[in-house]
Structure 1
Amino acid sequence: MSKRTYSKRIASNSFVVGSFACIGGGLFGLDISSMSGVLTNDAYLRVFKHPGSDAQGAMVASMPAGSFVGALMVTKLADLVGRKITIMLSGILWIIGSILQCAAQNRGMLVVGRIISGISIGFASATVPLYQAEITQPHLRGRMVSLQQWAITWGILLQYFVQFGCSYIDGVSSFRIPWGLQMIPAIILAIGIMWFPESPRWLVDHGREEEALEVLADLHAHGNKDDSLVQLEYEEIRQQVYFEKQEGAKSYMDLFKPGITRRVMLGTSLQMWSQLSGMNIMMYYIVYVFRGAGLSGKRGNLIASSIQYVLNVLFTVPAIIYIDRWGRRPMLLAGTAFMGFFLFLVGGLQGRFGEWGMDGNDRIWMIEDNDSATYGIIVCSYLFVCSFAISMGPVSWTYPAEIFPMKVRAKAVSLSTSANWVFNFALAWAVPPGLENIAYKTYFIFGTFNFACFIHVLFMYPETKGRTLEEIEEVFCQGHMFAAWKVKSHVGLKALEDVKRQAKTVELTDEKASDA
C-alpha cells in the first residue's frame, strides 16, 4: 500500500486534517502558561537567581524572539519543502527546545531552550493557518482556521493546570515536570502529520496536479473526482497558479506590487493589533495583575488565574461556530470596543483605589483592604479575556491566512505572523518594567490601542467570509481602500452551490428516466 493511499484512508475530510494540524497552535499555548505558572514558584526563583523585572521580561521574551526568526524562515521553507514538512519540523524543534528548558541549570540555558522552542512556534504559527486555509471549503474556512486559536487556549489551560498541580511539589520538579511533559504533543504532531495530505494548492504550484485533484476529492467529496464543486475549485486553483507563474518568478518584491502591498499591511497590522490589545498582559503576567489587584496568597492567585484560562477556552467556541456567519469585520469591531472598555475600567479601578506598597521584596502598585475594587478588577479582567477569545483571537489568525494570492501567500502569511512575534517579544519584555514603573497607566495604553484598532478595522478591513481563496482577489479589486464597508457582497459560493444542486437534479432526472 502506498503512503498516499494510506494517508487518504486516514484523512477522510478537511476537518480531521486541519484539526490535527492545530496541535501546532497548542504548542504556542503551552509555552505561554509554562512561564506564567512559575513566576511565583520558590524553586524556580531560587534556581534562576530571583530574576528582576528586566531579567524576567528578557527570559519570557526569548521565546517570541525565536518565533520571529522562525516565522520569517517560513517565507522560503513553506514554498520550498511544503506546508506539511514545515509543520513536522516545528514539532521536532519543539522537542529539542523542551529538553533544554527541562534540563536548564541557569538563565542562559533556559533562554537558549526557549529560543529554539520559539523557532518551532514561528514555523507552526505561520504554516498551520496557511495549511488549514488551503485545504478547507470556503464556507468552513473561518471555522477551521479559528481552531488554531482554540488549540492555543487549550495549550494555555492544560499547561497552567499542570503547573498548578506541580506547584505542590517541593523542589525543582515543580517546574521541570511541566516543561518536560510539553514534549508529548510535539511528538504526536511530528509523527502523525506524515500520514496527512499536502496542500492541494502547493501541489499544483509544484506540478503535481493529479495528486492535488485526489486531495481535493478526498477532502471535499469523499474521493469523488467528478464532483462539480471539486472540479470547479480545482480549475480555479490551476488557472490562478498558471496566471501567477506567467507573471514571473516569485520574489519578496512581489509583496510590494500594486494590490498586494495593501493586503500585506492589513495582515501585519492585524497581527500587531492582536498583541497590542493587551492580551499579552493577561496571559503571560496575569499573576502580576491579580497581585496588584490585592489578591493575597499564592494559591488564591493561581486559582483566580486558572478561571481566566478556562474562560479563554470556553468563549473561543462561539467564535469557531459562528465566524463564518457573523463575519470577520463585526467580530473585530465588537471585540476591540469591549476590550478597550474593560481595560480602561481595570486601569481606573487601579488608579482610584491603589497605591505604592511592598509585596515581599517587591515595590508594586497595589490595592489593599478593598475587596470591592479587587473583585471589580478580577471581573473586568475576565470580561476582557472573554471579549478577546470571541473576536480578535480567532480572527487574527483567519484573516491573514485568506487574503493573499497563491504566488505570495506563504511569504505574506509568514511576514504577517512575524509581526505578531515582533510585538509579542517587545511587550513580553516591556510589561514587567511597565507595571513596575507606571503601574495602572499601562492598562490605559493598551485600552487606547484597542480603540485605534477599531478605527483601523472600520475603514480598511473588507469582509471576506464565504469566498474561495481565488474569489478574494475580487474583493481587493473593488477598491474602497478607506471605505471597507462598501465592498459588495459576493455570489461566488452561492453560484457554486447552485451548480452542485443543478448537477444533482440532472442526476436524479436521468435516474428516473432510466427507471421509466
Structure 2
Amino acid sequence: MEERSRLAREPSESSEHGRKGLFDSARNLEGRLSGGNSSAPVAPAAPAAEVETVPGGRKKNYNKYVVFCTLLASLNSILLGYDIGVMSGALLYIKDDFKLNSVQQEILVGILNLVSLVGGLMAGKLADAVGRRKTMATASVIFFVGALLMALSPSYPVLMGGRVLSGIGVGFAMIIAPVYTAELSPPGSRGSLVSFAEVFINTGILVGYVANFALSPLPQWLGWRLMLGLGAVPAVFLACAVLVMPESPRWLVMQGRVSQAKTVLIRTCGGNKAEAESRLTAIVESLGDEYEAEKQEVRDEHTSKMDPEADQQAELRKIPSVASSTTEQRKPMLKPKRKRGSNVWKQLLLPSAPVRRMLLLSLGIHFFQQASGVDALVYYSPTVFAQAGMKSRTSVLGMTIAVGLTKTLFILVATIYLDTVGRRPLLLASATGMTISLTTVAVTFRFLHVGAKVNMSGTQHASVALVVIAMLAICGFMASFSIGFGPTVYVLTSEIFPLTLRARAMSLSIGMNRGISGTVALTYLSLAEALTTSGAFFVYASIAFASIVFIFFVVPETKGKSLEEVCKYFGWQPDEGGGGQELREV
C-alpha cells in the first residue's frame, strides 16, 4: 500500500524531461521579454518568419503562413461587421417600406445580437466536437442562407426569420475566429493576430456604410434588399477559405492526433522543429490526466532522442501485453478515467478559485465593452446624426462613413501596439477616452436641446458649432473604443482560459457580449425617449467610467506569454476541477 502511494507521488523520469523542457522554454521566454540574458539556449528563428525588432529589445515573429491563416479566419468577423454597418442604413428604408414603429425597429436591430448569444453557446460545444475548421464552415452556410432570406423577404416576419438565422451564424463566427487564431499563433505576435478579428469587424462595418451610401439612389424597395443580400458574399469566401486552412494544433492534441498537431506546429513555426516540439510539449503537459496517452507519446519522443534504452522501453509499451504488465508494476490501481470534456460545463458553472478569476475578468470585460453604448452609436448613428441637426439622408449616410473610417483606422493602432505596449495600458487609455467622449456628446446634446423628442424635426435650429462638436466627439469615442476595448477584449478572452475550457468559456463570454449588445440595441430609442438623448449618453459615460476602475483592479498584463503561462498566472493546474485520475485503496 505504502509503496503504491509513493509511486503515485513520484513522476517518472520521462515526465520530468517533459516538465523540464516546458520550464526551460518558459525561462527563455521570460529572458527575451525582460531584455536580459538567459543561460538556457534559445531556439533559432524560424526561416519563414519575418522578425521585427520592437522597443525594449524584444522580438516579434510574424510567420507568413500563420498570418495567412489568420486573415482567412478573420473573414468570420466580416459577417458581423457588415451586418452591423448595413442595417444602420437599411433601417431607414425598411421602416418606410414595411411601416415599422420604433419598437419593431428596435426588435429588428436587436434580435440578431440576442440570437447570436444562442449561436455562440452552440458553437463552443460544436468547436470542441468537430473542430475549429468545420465550425467556421457551418457559420458561413448559416449566414449565407440568412442573408438571402432577408434580401428576398416579402414581409416583416420573413425578414425577422432571416435575421434570426444570421444571428446564429454571427454567434458561431464570433466564437471561432479568436479561438482559432489564438491557438495557432506564437506568443510574441498573438495579440496583434487575434486583433485581426476586430479589424475585420470594423472593415465590415465600413463596407456596410459604403454599401448604404452607394445603393441609396436606387428605388426604396430594391436598395435595402441589395444592401442586405450582399452579406452573402463574404460567407461564400469563408466557405472556400476553410478548404485551405489547417486545423488548430491544440484541438488536434485534444483528439489524440499528436503527430498531426506536430505537423501543423512545424509549419506555423516556419520549419523550426525544436520550437515546434517545445510548444507541443507545453500544450500536452497543460492537459489533465485524462490525456495521459498523449502526454506519454510526447515524453517518449523527447526521451528517445537522449536515451536509446528509453526508446526501446517506449516501443515495448506499445505492445498491449507488455504495456499492461508495466502499468501493473509502476502505477497504483486507478479509478476509470472520466470521459474527455464531460465535466467542462461543471468546471465553468461551479468554478474553482482560478476559474472564477478567469470568468470574472472575461465576463466583466465583455460587459463593459458593450454596456458603454458602442452599438447604440453604430446601429443608430444615422438617427443620432439626424437628432443632432443633419437633415439630408445622403449627408447622414455620408457621416456614417466618416465614423466607420475612424473606427477602422484606429483599430490598426491596437493591432500594431498590442504586443509592445500591452493589453492593460491600451484598455485604460481606451476607457478614459470613451468616458471623455461620451460625456462631451451628452453635454453637447443637452445644449442642442434635442433630447425632448427622438425625431427628425427637433433640430431645425441647432447651432452648427455644437453639431460639429457632437460629430467630433462621436468620432473620438469610436477612435478610443478601437484602440483598446474593440480588439483587446477578444484577445484577453481567447488567451486566459486553459485549452480544455477555452471554446466553451469563450461561448459564455460571447453570450455576455451579445446579450448586453442586444439589450443596448433593443433599448436605445426607448431610453432616449425616456431620459432624452443627452441622458442616455450620460448613462453610457457612467458605465465607461466604471470600466476604468474594473480594468485597474482586475485586468493583468498577458503580452508575450504563452497560453499555458497565462493560465498559470491565475493559479490553474491541469487537473483543476477533477478532470484527472484519482487513487483509491485496494
TM-score range, shorter chain: 0.7 to 0.9
SS of the residue corresponding to residue 409 of structure 1 reads: helix
Give the counterpart of 1:379 among 472, 493, 499.
Answer: 472
User: Does residue 1:352 correspond to 2:447, yes or no?
Assistant: yes
Corresponding residue number in structure 1 for 2:60: none
Give the counterpart of 2:225 among 176, 179, 185.
Answer: 176
Give the share of equivalent positions with the same residue, in percent. Answer: 30
Q: CA RMSD in A?
A: 1.9
Corresponding residue number in structure 1 for 2:275: 229
Q: Is the 8 A contact 1:166 1:178 kept in 2?
A: yes
Q: Within 1, Cα distance between the matches of 2:446 and 2:457?
A: 13
SS of the residue corresponding to residue 172 of structure 1 reads: helix
Q: Within 2, Cα distance between the matches of 1:60 and 1:156?
A: 14
Query: Displacement of 1:52 after TM fit?
Result: 1.9
Give the counterpart of 1:133 among 162, 182, 185.
Answer: 182
Give the counterpart of 1:287 among 382, 405, 413.
Answer: 382
Counterpart amino acid of residue 83 in structure 1: R
Counterpart amino acid of residue 332 in structure 1: L
Corresponding residue number in structure 1 for 2:435: 340
Give the counterpart of 2:372 among 258, 277, 283.
Answer: 277
Give the counterpart of 2:85 among 19, 33, 49.
Answer: 33
Corresponding residue number in structure 2 for 1:492: none
Give the counterpart of 1:47 among 88, 97, 100.
Answer: 97
SS of the residue corresponding to residue 40 of structure 1 reads: helix
Give the counterpart of 1:441 among 535, 554, 559.
Answer: 535
Q: Within 1, Cα distance between the matches of 2:288 and 2:548?
A: 38
Give the counterpart of 2:482 among 386, 389, 393.
Answer: 389
Note the alpha carbon deviations across 1:70-93, whole angstroms, 9 max, x for none.
001123111000111101100000
Corresponding residue number in structure 1 for 2:130: 81
Q: Within 1, Cα distance between the matches of 2:290 and 2:486?
A: 32
Q: Residues 358 and 201 of structure 1: is their aligned pair in 2 closer, same or farther, counting only changes over 3 Å?
A: closer
What is the aligned length? 461
Note the alpha carbon deviations across 1:207-261, whole angstroms, 9 max, x for none.
0000000000011123x4x2x2211101101111244646954320111123112
Query: Displacement of 1:45 after TM fit?
Result: 2.8
Query: Displacement of 1:477 after TM fit?
Result: 2.4
Q: Is the 8 A contact 1:357 1:366 kept in 2?
A: no
Give the counterpart of 2:419 among 314, 319, 324.
Answer: 324
SS of the residue corresponding to residue 471 of structure 1 reads: helix
Corresponding residue number in structure 1 for 2:52: none
Note the alpha carbon deviations across 1:476-498, whole angstroms, 9 max, x for none.
129xxxxxxxxxxxxxxxxxxxx
Which structure 1 residue ranges, 5 or more long, are not aligned?
Answer: 1-10, 479-516
Corresponding residue number in structure 1 for 2:552: 458
Query: Displacement of 1:356 after TM fit?
Result: 5.7
Q: Is the 8 A contact 1:83 1:199 kept in 2?
A: yes
Q: Within 1, Cα distance between the matches of 2:136 and 2:68?
A: 16
Q: Is the 8 A contact 1:363 1:436 kept in 2?
A: no
Counterpart amino acid of residue 32 in structure 1: I
Q: Is the 8 A contact 1:357 1:363 kept in 2?
A: no
Q: Within 1, Cα distance between the matches of 2:115 and 2:263?
A: 37
Q: Residues 353 and 47 of structure 1: is their aligned pair in 2 closer, same or farther, counting only changes over 3 Å?
A: closer
Corresponding residue number in structure 1 for 2:512: 419
User: Does residue 1:14 correspond to 2:66, yes or no?
Assistant: yes
Counterpart amino acid of residue 29 in structure 1: G
SS of the residue corresponding to residue 16 of structure 1 reads: helix
Q: Is the 8 A contact 1:12 1:218 kept in 2?
A: no
Q: Is the 8 A contact 1:350 1:367 kept in 2?
A: no
Corresponding residue number in structure 2 for 1:429: 522
Give the counterpart of 1:259 among 348, 354, 358.
Answer: 354
Superposition pairs for residues 139-288 of structure 1, below 5 Å? 139-222=188-271, 224=272, 226=273, 228-243=274-289, 245=291, 248=338, 249-250=340-341, 251=343, 252-255=345-348, 256-288=351-383
Corresponding residue number in structure 2 for 1:408: 501
Q: Within 1, Cα distance between the matches of 2:202 and 2:528?
A: 24
Q: Is the 8 A contact 1:31 1:156 kept in 2?
A: yes
Query: Displacement of 1:330 after TM fit?
Result: 0.6
Q: Is the 8 A contact 1:39 1:287 kept in 2?
A: no
Counterpart amino acid of residue 237 in structure 1: I
Q: Within 2, Cα distance between the matches of 1:357 and 1:257?
A: 49
Q: Within 2, Cα distance between the matches of 1:306 and 1:26?
A: 16
Q: Is the 8 A contact 1:82 1:202 kept in 2?
A: yes
Q: Is the 8 A contact 2:70 2:181 kept in 1?
A: yes
Q: Within 2, Cα distance between the matches of 1:211 and 1:169?
A: 52
Note the alpha carbon deviations across 1:347-368, whole angstroms, 9 max, x for none.
0111123146778xx4776473
Note the alpha carbon deviations across 1:372-416, whole angstroms, 9 max, x for none.
111110010011101011110010111100000011111101111
SS of the residue corresponding to residue 467 of structure 1 reads: coil
Deviates more, 1:239-248 or 1:453-462: 239-248
Counterpart amino acid of residue 350 in structure 1: F
Query: Displacement of 1:12 after TM fit?
Result: 6.2
Give the counterpart of 2:400 among 268, 282, 305.
Answer: 305
Q: Within 1, Cα distance between the matches of 2:253 and 2:453?
A: 63
Q: Within 2, Cα distance between the matches of 1:400 and 1:83?
A: 17
Q: Within 2, Cα distance between the matches of 1:289 and 1:375?
A: 13
Corresponding residue number in structure 2 for 1:505: none
Q: Within 1, Cα distance between the matches of 2:209 and 2:276?
A: 43
Q: Residues 437 and 259 of structure 1: is their aligned pair in 2 closer, same or farther, counting only changes over 3 Å?
A: same
Query: Displacement of 1:277 after TM fit?
Result: 1.8
Query: Displacement of 1:172 after TM fit?
Result: 1.4
Q: Within 2, Cα distance between the matches of 1:402 and 1:220?
A: 19
Which structure 2 residue ranges, 5 or more long, are not aligned?
Answer: 1-62, 293-336, 573-586
Q: Within 1, Cα distance between the matches of 2:462 and 2:489?
A: 39
Query: Displacement of 1:369 after TM fit?
Result: 3.2
Counterpart amino acid of residue 553 in structure 2: F
Q: Within 2, Cα distance between the matches of 1:356 and 1:468?
A: 49
Q: Is the 8 A contact 1:25 1:151 kept in 2?
A: yes
Q: Is the 8 A contact 2:428 2:552 kept in 1?
A: yes
SS of the residue corresponding to residue 369 of structure 1 reads: coil
TM-score (norm 2): 0.76
Counterpart amino acid of residue 335 in structure 1: S
Q: Is the 8 A contact 1:293 1:377 kept in 2?
A: yes
User: Does residue 1:111 correspond to 2:160, yes or no?
Assistant: yes
TM-score (norm 1): 0.86
Deviates more, 1:347-356 or 1:302-311: 347-356
